[in-house]
Amino acid sequence: MPTTLSQSQLPGLDLIHRGKVRDVYALPDDQLLIVATDRLSAFDVVLPDPIPGKGEMLTEMSNFWFARTADVMPNHLTGRRVEEVLPAGVDVDLYARRSVISKRLKPVPFEAIVRGFLIGSGWKDYRATGALCGIPLPAGLAQAEQLAHPIFTPSTKAAVGGHDENVSFDTVVGQVGSALAEQVREASLAIYREAARFAAERGILIADTKFEFGTDADGKLYVMDEMLTPDSSRFWPADEYRVGISPPSFDKQFVRDYLETLDWNKQAPGPSIPQEIIEGTAQKYAEALQRLAGIRLA
């Protein structure tokens, strides 16, 4: 059965970052141990209740996509087995399927978001301004309508408790230079197009997704962190997709929709989640993993 882990405890290893979902430990030789916990964040707030098995499903999904897109963009994985670095006495079964060993990279300080459909904050932005993150769009588009071409819309990377903010491509250029900014944009769009094609053949539309990138000491670019998971993407069942409505989804939109019914200001601390929402979320993640990657956690 899937394991449950809200917060990792690995005595003897140097914890260098505890993010919204992942705990990151330093390893020798410029490598990292990245542990995907079962924490769930929504509206950039970590919620108090974990989703059992979520970290394992995120890791399995990411590893599947990293392998599929390795010819499009190299990734941070080293291929080393987690068992090689876990401290003595640690429950290997608890960590093996939710952890990876990666290269230690310098993060590009923006989230690389690609939008293929007009939904979420993009839809709200379009209704208010007629544009998507400052990029003008044709008039008369409807909620959930597919865009003529996928659009790259970067955002800031907020610390835990903060909120990401959309920024212009020029802002990215100003901070990291035009060459790296262009490389990130082109890689993001190329990965999205390949993933969207693959997913569509399996009855799933990828409405949008976000990537993170980093560079090594030689300036080589890698995609890192996670890729095309229910945490970082909107997955819609193609047979239930309709223009004009927010379609059902295999991702944490299920939780967002519940939270929108509450009198909550989207600031920490987050509210507790009912058991049926926890179980429903786990089922949606599991179905996405099975339909896209053919993996079922036993």
Query: pLDDT tens per residue, the chain (298 residues)?
Result: 789 999 999 999 999 999 999 999 999 999 999 999 999 999 889 999 999 999 999 999 999 999 999 999 999 999 999 999 999 999 999 999 999 999 999 999 999 999 999 999 899 999 999 999 889 999 999 999 999 999 999 998 766 555 678 899 999 999 999 999 999 999 999 999 999 999 999 999 999 999 999 999 999 999 999 999 999 999 999 999 999 999 998 888 889 889 999 999 999 999 999 999 999 999 999 999 999 999 998 6
pLDDT of residue 158: 64
Q: Is the pTM of this model over 0.85?
A: yes
pLDDT of residue 254: 86
Long-range CB pairs of 118-127, under 8 A, 24+ apart, other chains included:
118/142, 118/143, 118/144, 118/145, 118/146, 118/147, 119/143, 119/144, 119/207, 119/208, 119/234, 119/246, 120/207, 120/208, 120/234, 121/166, 122/153, 122/208, 125/166
pLDDT of residue 159: 60
Q: Which CATH number fits domain 107-251: 3.30.470.20, 3.10.450.50, 3.20.20.70, 3.40.50.300?
A: 3.30.470.20
> CATH number of the domain at 14-104, please?
3.30.200.20
Q: Where are the domains of the chain?
A: 14-104, 107-251
pLDDT of residue 2: 82
